[in-house]
Structure formats: C-alpha cells, structure tokens
C-alpha cells in the first residue's frame, strides 16, 4: 500500500514539474534559493516517511535507495546547507532545459518503479 502511494506521489510531482515547466517557472532558481529551505524540507518529509514505511512493508532495495536519497538531501539541508547550495554552480554549467527534462524523467521513472514493485 505504501509503495503504491509513493509511486502515485512521485507521478503527481512529475506532472506538477511538467506544468511548472509549461508555465515557464524557474524550478532550479526556486530550489537553490536559500530562503526556500524550510519549504524544501517540508516537501521532502512525506517522501522520506512514506519511503521508509514502504521499505518496512515490502523490504525492497528500491525503497531503501529512495529513503537514503531523501535522508541525505534532508540532512544536507539541515546540517550543511552550504554543501547543498554549492551544487548550484555545477548546475549552471548545464542547460536548464536538460535539467528540467531530467527532473521530470527521473521523478516519473521512480514513480513507475514504485508502482511496479508494489504490483509485483
């Protein structure tokens, strides 16, 4: 059940990212703005909790990977935010369209992966 919820949540986020891209919203400008740190932590919390619950329910390596990715992201934002914001310079070297497409594809792939694991 938690795996299905997590998959649906990721797919909803992918649709939200697509809508924001369509509306010409600067996603990475928002993410790398230090004043939005609390919002990012609040946004990351449900993914962290549901991925941990999905791992406890199904004990699959995919959910453990998702949990650790969200845990690392949250810990970096809480304890060492300069590490998180340091990657902004690296992101500027890449094309913004590429990064937006990568974000949508990655979020969709993780959502589909969660749904597949919950189905099997």
Would you state the pLDDT for residue 35? 82
**Other Cβ atoms closer than 10 A to 35:** 7
One DSSP character per residue, 92-103 reads HTS-HHHHHHHH
pTM attached to this predicted model: 0.82
Q: pLDDT digit string (tens) for 74-100?
A: 888 888 877 777 766 666 666 677 777
Q: pLDDT digit string (tens) for 12-36?
A: 999 998 998 888 887 777 877 778 8
């Amino acid at each position: 059940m938690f795996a299905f919820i997590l998959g649906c949540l990721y797919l909803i986020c992918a649709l939200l990212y697509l809508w924001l891209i369509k509306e010409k919203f600067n996603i990475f400008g928002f993410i790398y703005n230090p004043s939005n740190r609390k919002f990012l932590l609040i946004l990351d919390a449900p993914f962290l909790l549901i991925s941990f619950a999905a791992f406890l329910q199904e004990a699959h390596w995919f959910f453990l990977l998702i949990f650790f990715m969200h845990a690392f992201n949250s810990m970096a934002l809480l304890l060492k935010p300069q590490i998180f914001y340091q990657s902004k310079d690296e992101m500027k070297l890449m094309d913004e369209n590429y990064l937006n497409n990568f974000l949508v594809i990655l979020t969709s792939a993780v959502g589909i992966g969660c749904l597949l694991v919950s189905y099997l």
